[in-house]
């Protein structure tokens, strides 16, 4: 079993976290490796993360082994951008024997003809002890590399609105991948006493900081199933998030902490309410707790093993069919 991930350990992002965790969950039963591409390495099945960025591996593998399983896991940029207008991403959908989406709204984003071969597998994390309720300070955290899709500018504008609130402290964790966004984060840190940009941090440290925070902000323009959201939920940390399909698919339709994409005033108001109204913050935490079981390692492992077993059975059936061609 090979897992192809366009991001390896050095990237320290969600794709790498998914690839390394899936390899770990599969290894008790399958010999599994993670590679950046496929160049003819022997394997009975291929799992590719990202339809567009892994398109070469998907095309090469399915051409060489048209009856073997090729499972493509779809990211947010796949679902909500690339499969609409990128021919390589569209080709990956057609070539895949199975598709994986990482939250329950994902299947609806697929072309109707592709939905039957799609499965939902929520990512997972172990539980952590929640932070004590806020005392004099509400600790807010944003985790995501500084790039357009994560829309950190909405957080920065909201932080500016809250600059006079010394009882609210906001930390941003993420590499400055976009120079202009990085400069904006540096300026915010220099001019706002309650805001810090901590840069990229190792995953273990980031998870501890999420655990110690009272509120996690996700302001993304698009999400396939944000790993930081489930880590917050599994840590008892409340979440406020942009009202996009990927976040709704993680937190549920009824979640009280949504704001419209780019609406920094609404985000600032939610953060202030969480600081000033203990019942509201508790409501957000309870909403997360009601979803927590979806993100348990045992659930993810069960769904992943079911998918691999199903794909291997599918391959056996197709090898018994003469002149089989991949759809």
pLDDT tens sequence across 49-73: 999 999 999 999 999 999 999 999 9
pLDDT tens sequence across 191-247: 999 999 999 999 899 999 999 999 999 999 999 999 999 999 999 999 999 999 999
Which runs of E-coded beta strand occur in the chain?
2-4, 33-35, 46-49, 70-73, 98-101, 118-120, 138-143, 168-173, 195-199, 215-218, 238-242, 258-259
Beta 138-143 vs 215-218: how paired, if at all? parallel
pLDDT tens sequence across 122-177: 999 999 999 898 989 999 999 999 999 999 999 999 999 999 999 999 999 999 99
CB atoms within 10 A of CB 11: 15
Identify the pLDDT of residue 327.
44
Give Cα 111 distance to the centre of its chain: 21
Identify the pLDDT of residue 313.
86
More confident residue, 299 or 10: 299
Identify the pLDDT of residue 16.
79
Q: Which of 12-21, 49-58, 285-294 has the lowest mean pLDDT?
A: 12-21
pLDDT tens sequence across 94-112: 999 999 999 999 999 999 9
> Once rounded to an integer, what is the mean pLDDT over residues 14-38?
89
Residue 11 pLDDT class (50, 70, 90 cuts): low
Contact 94, 76 (CB under 8 A): no
Most trustworthy range by pLDDT among 24-28, 268-272, 309-313: 268-272
What does the mean pLDDT of the chain come to?
93
User: Burial, 326: exposed, middle or buried (Cβ in 10 Å; 0-12, 13-18, 19+)?
Assistant: middle
Identify the pLDDT of residue 323.
46
């Amino acid at each position: 079993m090979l897992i192809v991930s366009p991001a390896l350990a050095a990237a320290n992002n969600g794709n790498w976290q998914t690839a390394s965790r899936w390899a770990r969950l599969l290894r008790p039963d399958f010999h599994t490796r993670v590679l950046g591409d496929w160049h003819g390495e022997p394997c009975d099945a291929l799992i590719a993360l990202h339809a567009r960025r892994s398109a070469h591996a998907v095309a090469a593998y399915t051409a060489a082994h048209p009856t073997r399983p090729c499972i493509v896991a779809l990211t947010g940029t796949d679902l909500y951008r690339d499969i609409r207008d990128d021919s390589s991403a569209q080709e990956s959908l057609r070539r895949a024997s199975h598709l994986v989406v990482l939250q329950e709204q994902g299947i609806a984003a697929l072309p109707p003809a592709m939905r039957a071969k799609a499965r939902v597998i929520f990512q997972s994390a172990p539980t952590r002890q929640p932070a004590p309720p806020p005392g004099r300070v509400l600790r807010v955290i944003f985790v995501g590399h500084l790039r357009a899709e994560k829309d950190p500018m909405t957080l920065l504008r909201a932080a500016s609105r809250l600059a006079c609130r010394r009882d609210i402290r906001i930390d941003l964790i993420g590499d400055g991948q976009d120079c202009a966004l990085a400069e904006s984060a540096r300026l915010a840190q220099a001019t706002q006493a309650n805001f810090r940009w901590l840069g990229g941090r190792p995953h273990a440290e980031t998870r501890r900081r999420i655990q110690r925070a009272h509120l996690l902000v996700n302001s993304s323009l698009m999400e396939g199933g944000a790993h930081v959201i489930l880590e917050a939920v599994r840590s008892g940390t409340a979440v406020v998030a942009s009202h996009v399909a990927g976040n709704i698919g993680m937190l549920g339709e009824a979640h009280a902490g949504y704001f419209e994409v780019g609406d920094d005033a609404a985000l600032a108001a939610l953060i202030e309410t969480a600081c000033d109204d203990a019942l509201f913050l508790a409501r957000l935490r309870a909403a997360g707790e009601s979803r927590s079981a979806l993100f348990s390692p045992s659930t993810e492992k069960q769904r992943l093993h079911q998918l691999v077993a199903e794909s291997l059975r599918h391959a056996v059936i197709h090898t018994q069919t003469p002149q089989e061609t991949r759809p």
